[in-house]
Amino acid sequence: MYDQKKMDELKKERVRWEQTTLPNWTKQCSERKREFRNTSNMPIKRLYTPEDVEEIDYVRDLGFPGEYPFLRGVHATMYRGRFWTMRQFSGFGTAEQTNKRFKYLLKEGETGLSIAFDYPTIMGYDSDHPMGKGEVGICGVAISSLKDMQALLDGIPLDKVTTSMTINGPAAMLLAMYVAVGDKQGVSREKLGGTTQNDNLKEYFAQKLCIYPPKSSVKLTTDIIEYCSRHLPKWNPISISGYHIREAGANALQELAFTIYDGISYVESTLQRGLRVDDFAHRLSFFFASHNDFFEEIAKFRAARRLWAKLMKERFHAKNPRSMWMRMHVQTSGCTLTAQQPLNNITRTTIQALAAVLGGTQSLHTNSFDEALALPSEEAVRVALRTQQIIAHESGATNTIDPVAGSYYIEALTNEMEQKAMEYIQRIDDLGGAIAAIEKGFFQKEIVDSSYKYQKEIDEKKRTIVGVNDYQIQKEKYPIKLLRVDPNVEKEQVASLQKLRKTRDNRKAEETLGKLQHSAEKDENLMPAIIEAIKAYATLGEICYVLRKVYGEYKELIII
Amino acid sequence: MQDARKIRVLIAKPGLDSHDRGAKVVARALRDAGMEVIYTGLRQTPEQIAETALQEDVDVIGLSILSGAHKTIFPRIMELLKKQGLTDVMVFAGGIIPEEDVSEMKKLGIKEIFGPGTTTEEIIQYVMHNLPKRD
């Protein structure tokens, strides 16, 4: 990017500075630490100069927004055209209660829905299953059947609002419910827009809400990708998720590399169905965390976009530029929130959200300041949403595209992130791919080691967390009002479910479950049979039980 | 005299939630502090926890839960431990347990609740100093 003569001059000047000006300062005041590193354990230099980006060829490596390699953004106008989607993950109690929260958020300016399901739903159990005792409606909304889904989406026009569903093992069932509600509203399937998380690989080493063994889960994931490519053209069948990898303890680099590797695996599993890469790759979407190290996060998002574009072009020979787009959702990092002095979390979230915006995200969730203590209160979730609105409208960060590009530090870090992620990808290829790496405990070990190291740094005060290991307040009082889920939710939900089982056409429900089992045994794409069962009001637990019988249940590989 | 055997700790993760980051960090820290740690993985039922505690002859149980189901699950665990005659086992807990629930949990016989921000060293020290006496 620079001519040789100028570079030689710069090098000479840098050496001169290091030998003359710098020692005068370090003599008086030595640096705070002997070495500075980011969470990915990359050493951070004192100063970045054009020397660090000497190799960059602007047109080849950065290019223009909306064009390969998409480093500067997937859209040519980015936030000058349209802001990211402001999408707050929410759900608690009964479907009716969450429906109210959804309407509140839409009224306050939210532009997309995001459903949080409770643990029994996520694990494929009905609300009256003994494993779910005490958990119904607590960490999300309880959805056991189409009847609940109808109540959840009541009065919400599915042709106007897009909906993201954080659901993996039972993703096919919840998507089937969404399709069925759309049918009832008279919205054609071509118009249904939204996302199912449906990333089952990361479950085995990050989110760990697994139902079936890995191969069967990947089969279900691929069924949805295949089905959507044929019938739901506006649906993102998968959100390939680094967020949970990060929250489980991985560092930024591991999050980047493992997520991209999962993406590679889903492309491969879908190609094996006989689809061409350009038939489906444009609908694959991604989901990352935004943690505290501002520049490391920005570099991670940018590197992710360029690396994915290169892989799609070079490894999978995609022709359609849209297949090379990495569209991403970002959530600020839950594990950085502190229970101590919770209002400080607003500041943390703001920094993280700004990193996501400077990183070029398409969609964003900002955490609420009270989330280290409980599910967010209405006030806390409003402040979180307002944080996004302030960044969008007041900060000026959205007035030009990719404003941090060309920073010596950012570009050097972006390059390093990408190179190191490629090294991980090579290692996982050598292990035999994602499932083999899971079975060998590779990801699990990498993540527990990073998480232990991070905690040790906090415990030993090598890493300062404001309000936790420094700047504490003794005998802190919590003036904030926390959300408590109504303890009667479980009783109401169980009663409603039992009523459904009495009033539906049981013969029809059983017939569709029998068909589903047959379809699973024949290894067909299960989406049509699941939609049929859902429409007959077979419950989530009943459908998942059929598949538990066919596929078996996953047994955790424990690594500490 | 405290016998020469290592302190035996069961780290157990009841509830459906899968947030095992904290449980694993605590398990590893106690192990590095010289204790014998048994970690049985996610989604352990109260019955499984009581059974493991008995079979493994543990001195201490650390429960970790972040799903909000502690008010349903902890009483059941404590009841089963009592039934198994494991009243001398010291039980502590961690995770997301709201301040206002702490005294109720302690009344069940849970000795201490460690919230977010606790250091591993605090837990190690607590276990060492509050260890039940063995015959």
Helices A408-431, A294-310: axis angle to 10 degrees equals: 50
Helix (H) or strand (E) holding A146: helix A146-152
Q: Do B73 and A339 touch (CB under 8 A)?
A: no
Number of domains chain B contains: 1
Q: Do A452 and B25 touch (CB under 8 A)?
A: yes
Q: Do A469 and B45 touch (CB under 8 A)?
A: no
State pLDDT tens for residues A111-121: 889 999 999 99
Query: Residue B73 sits in which domain range?
Result: 8-126
User: What per-residue confidence (pLDDT) applies to B4?
Assistant: 72
User: What per-residue confidence (pLDDT) applies to A275?
Assistant: 97
Judge residue A157's burial from the number of C-beta atoms within 10 Å of its C-beta, 0-12 exposed, 13-18 middle, 19 or more buried: exposed
Residue B134 lies in a domain: no
Chain A hits for B42, CB-CB cut-off 8 Å, are 208, 556
pTM attached to this predicted model = 0.95
Domain ranges of chain A: 86-394+428-459
Closest CA of chain A from B127, distance in Å: 17
The CA-CA-CA angle for residues B45, B46, B47, to 5°, reads 85
Can you tell me the distance from the alpha carbon of A120 to that of A134, in angstroms, rounded to the nearest whole number?
A: 10
State the first-to-last Cα distance of chain A, in angstroms, to the nearest integer: 47
- Rounded alpha-carbon distances, angstroms, from residue A195 to A270, A273, A418, A480: 17, 21, 27, 33
Can you tell me the distance from the alpha carbon of A301 to that of A309, in angstroms, rounded to the nearest whole number?
A: 13
Q: pLDDT over 70 for what percent of chain A? A: 99
User: What per-residue confidence (pLDDT) applies to A438?
Assistant: 96
Can you tell me the distance from the alpha carbon of B50 to that of B44, in angstroms, rounded to the nearest whole number?
A: 10
Query: 3-class DSSP state for residue A89?
Result: strand
Nearest beta carbon to residue B116 from set A119, A138, A338: A338
Across-strand partners of A330? A288, A364
Chain B hits for A478, CB-CB cut-off 8 Å, are 99
Question: Tokens representing A129?
Answer: 């299953």
Can you tell me the distance from the alpha carbon of A144 to that of A150, in angstroms, rounded to the nearest whole number?
A: 11
Question: Tokens representing A56?
Answer: 């960059």
Residue B82 lies in a domain: yes
For the cut 70, the answer to whether the pLDDT of residue B40 exceeds it is yes
Which one is predicted more confidently, A559 or A45? Answer: A45
Q: Which residue has the tokens 């570079």?
A: A7
The alpha helices in A460-505, defined as continuous H runs, are: 489-503
User: What per-residue confidence (pLDDT) applies to B1?
Assistant: 46
Can you tell me the distance from the alpha carbon of A45 to that of A409, in angstroms, rounded to the nearest whole number?
A: 9
State pLDDT tens for residues A425-457: 999 999 999 999 999 999 999 999 999 999 999
Q: Do B67 and A456 touch (CB under 8 A)?
A: no
User: What per-residue confidence (pLDDT) applies to B3?
Assistant: 54
**Mean pLDDT estimate for chain B:** 93
For the cut 70, the answer to whether the pLDDT of residue A373 exceeds it is yes
State pLDDT tens for residues A382-412: 999 999 999 999 999 999 999 999 999 999 9
Judge residue A551's burial from the number of C-beta atoms within 10 Å of its C-beta, 0-12 exposed, 13-18 middle, 19 or more buried: middle
Tell me the residue type at B135.
D
For the cut 70, the answer to whether the pLDDT of residue A423 exceeds it is yes
CATH 3.40.50.300 fits A86-394+428-459, yes or no: no
State the first-to-last Cα distance of chain B, in angstroms, to the nearest integer: 9
Query: 3-class DSSP state for residue A432?
Result: coil
Query: 3-class DSSP state for residue B102?
Result: helix
A556: phi then psi, degrees, rounded to nearest 5: -60, 140
Averaged over A18-25, what is the pLDDT? 96
Best A92, A117, A119 member to test B by mutation, with max B CBs in 10 Å, is A119
Across-strand partners of A37? A43
| Contact assessment for residue A179 and residue A125, using Cβ atoms and an 8 Å cutoff | no
For the cut 60, the answer to whether the pLDDT of residue A458 exceeds it is yes
| Chains A & B: contacts with CB separation below 8 Å | 89
User: What per-residue confidence (pLDDT) applies to A486?
Assistant: 85
State pLDDT tens for residues A244-283: 999 999 999 999 999 999 999 999 999 999 999 999 999 9
Can you tell me the distance from the alpha carbon of A331 to that of A333, in angstroms, rounded to the nearest whole number?
A: 6
User: What per-residue confidence (pLDDT) applies to A1?
Assistant: 64
The CA-CA-CA angle for residues A172, A120, B76, to 5°, reads 160
Chain A hits for B98, CB-CB cut-off 8 Å, are 373-374, 482
Q: Do B119 and A469 touch (CB under 8 A)?
A: yes
Q: Do B41 and A556 touch (CB under 8 A)?
A: yes
Q: What is the ipTM of this complex?
A: 0.89
Question: Tokens representing B2?
Answer: 């405290």
Helix (H) or strand (E) holding B60: strand B60-65
Look up the CATH number of the domain holding residue B85. Answer: 3.40.50.280
**Mean pLDDT estimate for chain A:** 96
State pLDDT tens for residues A46-89: 999 999 999 999 999 999 999 999 999 999 999 999 999 998 88
Residue B132 lies in a domain: no
User: What per-residue confidence (pLDDT) applies to A477?
Assistant: 72
Least confident of A138-152, A209-223, B23-37, B121-135: B121-135
Q: Do B21 and A335 touch (CB under 8 A)?
A: yes
Helix (H) or strand (E) holding A217: helix A214-231
- Rounded alpha-carbon distances, angstroms, from residue B2 to A172, B5, B6: 56, 8, 10
State pLDDT tens for residues A474-493: 877 766 777 788 889 999 99
User: What per-residue confidence (pLDDT) applies to B135?
Assistant: 58
Query: 3-class DSSP state for residue A299?
Result: helix
Chain B hits for A134, CB-CB cut-off 8 Å, are 15, 69-73
Residue B32 lies in a domain: yes
Question: Tokens representing A92?
Answer: 């608690």
Across-strand partners of B64? B94
Can you tell me the distance from the alpha carbon of A163 to that of A178, in angstroms, rounded to the nearest whole number?
A: 9
